[in-house]
Structure 1
């Protein structure tokens, strides 16, 4: 039955592919919806009975329910990965997703802070008093100065900070490590934070950042901290930690950094994921041209 095969696939994603919990939940949700549809609509419970026509029928129904293009693309990707897995394990004799293609979604440029907004963000921030404020400051500075992901920030250990090489070592997706250089100012902030933590907080872990209670940081805490300070300098609808990651990469691009170097700093597996920042750079140059060139056609 497909339900049992899905459980096997989830274990494969977790223990062999080492995907994040967030990604695994997305796969499981998409495939559970598909399995339910196959049973309810066609009374199909076995994976080897699924044909491409059944998949197209499901996608049409989703489209009629106003599912967005990106959501449909993700569901198709989930199905393709699953049936490729089943084919490799000889659970099916053919892959019904081979002829399935998804709708093209419009490219969305990443949300980021303009240079003057980031300068305002760190000019005179009103951080909370005491150790909580130190934690908030280090969260903001690390996210902007290194471009690390929220999960990577939470997972940083004290021993990941190398003061001699002036770098931090980050454990990224698929357990891939990468070294990111840090400036002298950030290094001093980290050293002071560790000293204050040892003096005032009792912990049973070795994570770099911690709550005042001594417990490790968690996703929503980091999100709330970032949102609190971003809303003081921007009207962007998104105010998540990823905005600071996008800002890090965009500012590097705008200031002439090599796209391959940015790829390594961000921990992207392919250059294609990083090239979105070249689009941001083009838009940035267009804006400068419109504002500065005497022959530019000004927008009404």
Structure 2
């Protein structure tokens, strides 16, 4: 016999489950809850106040409404996944007798390859970032912030880490002697990532100036203008400020540096499993996406350069 519960009760309980038992990130939980609340609101409007009244037909009607509103196939697929996993959780806890979402079709998605910078464009990127630092006045806050930005860029590209991993980095997570950093990624999983000589140099330079901006009590490696741990939005703004000055690329945001790092590692002959470990991918299939980027770049170079292409 199932226990009758409202949508809101079960969604709140499921969010706690994601946080405390599965260690999902706040952003992941927020996305799941938003999709489930959308599903709940549709059902309430159609006189289905409890999860036990949900059916395959009602779920299909909900998704049809989402599609008619102009949602992309990726968004619909995400909502299908959210509903399926949530309702299975309800079955496991005897709030439902069966999961009606198991037969819910997910739309096919065209796999989009990430936009990456060429090696030459990466060089341009860092030339622009260095130029900004060189133009600032010694001892000024602007110089400290320019040093911070350069260090952030070097770590994002040099280690291929996510922006959330960058903003979560503390000063004690840096091992200068081994040229390693310790980051906490998706699912609260920790990993050790190597960084190159330029990143080490930029980090040392920033940490020498960090005291002019950072509040004494913060352990954050990177801080904002107010001295507290830097916000992901600020990192994106600073990356885009440089990317917008580079011609012939649509690459934007910190993830473009991560995509570029992964592609350039594979271009340089790095083993795909080593790249998977550096990037912190749970599945090798995710890392394999970058092999397609490398092949496409190789094909493009071949067609441009080979006399009989």
**Structure 2 matches for 1:226-241, cutoff 5 A?**
226-241=239-254
| Residues 200 and 240 of structure 1, relative CA distance in 2, 3 Å threshold | closer
Normalised by the length of structure 2, the TM-score is 0.91
Where in structure 2 are the equivalents of 1:190-269 lying within 5 Å? 190-198=203-211, 201-269=214-282
Q: Which whole-Å CA distance do the structure 1 matches of 2:86 and 2:121 have between them?
A: 43
Cα distance between partner residues in 2 of 1:167 and 1:177: 13
Equivalent pair of 2:154/2:202 in contact (CA under 8 Å): no
2:139 maps to which residue?
Answer: none
TM-score w.r.t. the length of structure 1 is 0.94
Partner of 2:112: 108
Distance of 1:202 and 1:70 partners within structure 2? 41
Matches within 5 A, 1:161-172: 161-172=174-185
- Gap regions ≥5 residues in structure 2: 1-5, 137-142
* Partner Cα distance (2:192, 2:214) in 1: 28
The answer to whether the 8 Å contact 1:204/1:214 transfers is: no
Structure 1: unaligned runs, 5 residues or longer: none
Find the aligned partners of 1:15 and 1:5 in 2 and give their Cα distance.
15
2:39–2:62 Cα contact (<8 Å) kept: yes
Query: How far has the Cα of 1:206 moved from its partner?
Result: 0.8
Q: 2:152 aligns with which of 135, 139, 164?
A: 139
CA distance in 2, matches of 1:238, 1:120: 13
Matched residue SS, 1:152: helix
Count, aligned residues: 295
1:45 is paired with a residue of what secondary structure?
coil
Cα distance between partner residues in 2 of 1:142 and 1:62: 39
User: Of 21, 31, 35, which residue of structure 1 is paired with 2:26?
Assistant: 21
1:18-57, aligned counterparts within 5 Å? 18-41=23-46, 43-57=47-61
Q: Which moved more, 1:275-284 or 1:128-137?
A: 128-137
The residue number in structure 2 matching 1:151 is 164
Q: Select between 116-125 and 260-269 the one with higher mean Cα deviation.
A: 116-125
Q: 2:262 touches 2:275 (CA, 8 Å); kept in 1?
A: yes
1:98 alignment partner, SS class: helix
| 4+ residue segments displaced more than 6 Å | none
